[in-house]
Amino acid sequence: MFQVLRDSRGTTQVVYDKGRLGSLDPVKGTTLQSYVWVRGRVARSKSRNFPYEIRADDYRIVAKARHPLPLDPSGSIPASLDVRLDNRPLDLRNPLVAAIFRIRAKFLEIARRILSEEGFMEVQTPKIISSATEGGADLFEMNYFGRKAFLAQSPQLYKEQLTMSMERVFEIASYYRAERFNTARHLNEFTSVDVEAAMYDKFDVMDLLEDLVVRSTEELSERGGDDFSILDSEPPKAKRGFPVMRYGEALEVLNGRGLKLPFGEDLGGEALRILSEEYGGYYFVIDWPMDSKPFYIQPSGDGLSESFDLMYGALELASGGQRIHERKLLEEMLRAKGLDPSGFSDHLKFYEWGMPPHSGWGFGADRYLMMAVGATNIRETVLYPRDPVRLKP
Ligand code: AMO
């Protein structure tokens, strides 16, 4: 008898012989996806699929799997994404699914190493916080021993504060947004790679981001080669010199293509689709209107800001910019955004202790991975995704 067994590293063929095992009954009684233990000799195989095989001397069922199972991880019977996510631990026995998460782990490992080499220190900031960082509308509220607290939307204010002592910091963590978007690129819990650096301006951090994307994509293609071949895909090439377009130029391009947008309007689905046709892969959109950016972004005059988004086609991968580092201006911007500076007094006082000019960005890791593995849904790249409907498992 033959069996194909898999473990976390791959698959192999096992050959059972009545003479060596005594009885084939335990093998015959094994249900699909059971966890088994085999001892045997490795030998060359005549099989077309396996160069080697294991000739078993001993065989035990460690944990028998129920039959039928809610899904077939060999992939021969397709299952919907919902069924797969409901039964994720079993889904992860599918080599295609496992490959995505090995690629994810490698990417985060590479990003960590590159940022450390660039002189950035890894930090962990609180995820239970007392006030909004990105504007108040999309915060998850919680009861903190009778007081109101929130789940962090981003490490924004903390990473800025840390530049006055550590100068260059990064954080890779989960953040929470109570947005009701139920799209293929939004989650309510997502992973972001965030950096913040003293004495960097907008272009310095754009350069850092481009360098990180180019180098990590290159290394990921190499070191994740086996996993990408399981998926039969390759991450799209990233070459230095991403095109840079001003927000105002984007409006002109759109106008030329028949889409008239008033100045200040955010670039939505149709606009991004047109821009992605013009630019293809990676590109930056810089100098956004102040109205479309959060209060901490440095204004640059004419209603514009020292900000940027990194796009891949129509997908926003990152956003960032230079920050305000003067208390008075920050208070003014808070008021301009309809926020009360007294609610930010704990944060504002740091601006009187020698706060250097600083810039940074937040890079959506799940979105990058979605693009890198060629997935059409962000949920494919997250073990246990959370969206407005899904809170389990
Ligand atoms: P922003 O809100 O643009 O900026 O978020 C940064 C990046 O995080 C990813 N992202 C998401 N991914 C999946 N689901 C979501 N709901 C979601 N929301 C955001 C995106 C996005 O580009 N503090 C600033 C960053 C900074 O200026 O440093 C911020 O949070 O890829």
Residue 210 appears among annotated catalytic residues? no
pLDDT over 70 at 145, yes or no: yes
Please tell me the predicted confidence (pLDDT) of residue 136: 56
- DSSP class of residue 274 equals H
Residue whose Cα lies nearest atom 10 of ligand 1: it is 364
Q: Is 190 in the pocket of ligand 1 (CB under 6 A)?
A: yes
Q: Is 366 in the pocket of ligand 1 (CB under 6 A)?
A: yes
Q: Map out the domains of the chain as residue ranges.
A: 2-67, 95-381
Fold equal for 2-67 and 95-381: no
Mutate to test the pocket of ligand 1, among 319, 377, 386, 390 (most ligand atoms within 8 A of CB): 319
346 or 168, greater pLDDT: 168
Residue 185 appears among annotated catalytic residues? yes
Please tell me the predicted confidence (pLDDT) of residue 278: 87
Residue whose Cα lies nearest atom 27 of ligand 1: it is 320
Residue 177 appears among annotated catalytic residues? yes
The pLDDT-based confidence of 131 (bands split at 50, 70, 90) is confident
Q: Is 163 in the pocket of ligand 1 (CB under 6 A)?
A: no
Q: What is the mean pLDDT of residues 3-21?
A: 94
User: What's the pLDDT tens digit per position in 199-247?
Assistant: 999 999 999 999 999 999 999 999 999 999 999 999 999 999 999 999 9
Instruction: Tell me the percentage of the chain whose pLDDT exceeds 70.
Output: 98
Please tell me the predicted confidence (pLDDT) of residue 24: 97
Give me the CATH topology for the region 95-381: BirA Bifunctional Protein; domain 2 (3.30.930)
Find residue 3's DSSP bridge partners: 14
Asked if residue 393 has a cis previous peptide bond (ω within 30° of 0), the answer is: yes
Mutate to test the pocket of ligand 1, among 172, 367, 371, 379 (most ligand atoms within 8 A of CB): 367
- Nearest Cα residue to 267 out of 244, 251, 256: 251
Q: Is 156 in the pocket of ligand 1 (CB under 6 A)?
A: yes
| 101, 383 Cβ separation under 8 angstroms | yes
Residue 179 appears among annotated catalytic residues? yes
Find residue 367's DSSP bridge partners: none
User: What's the pLDDT tens digit per position in 348-359?
Assistant: 999 999 999 999
Q: How far is the CA of 264 from the centre of ligand 1 (A)?
A: 19
User: What's the pLDDT tens digit per position in 367-393?
Assistant: 999 999 999 999 999 999 999 999 999
Q: Which residue intervals of 280-309 are DSSP H helices?
A: none
Q: Is 154 in the pocket of ligand 1 (CB under 6 A)?
A: yes
Q: Is 358 in the pocket of ligand 1 (CB under 6 A)?
A: no
Element at 149 (helix H, strand E): strand 147-151
Report domain 2-67's class.
Answer: mainly beta
Residue whose Cα lies nearest atom 1 of ligand 1: it is 319
Paired tokens of 283: 């590109």
User: What's the pLDDT tens digit per position in 273-310?
Assistant: 999 998 889 999 999 999 999 999 999 999 999 999 99
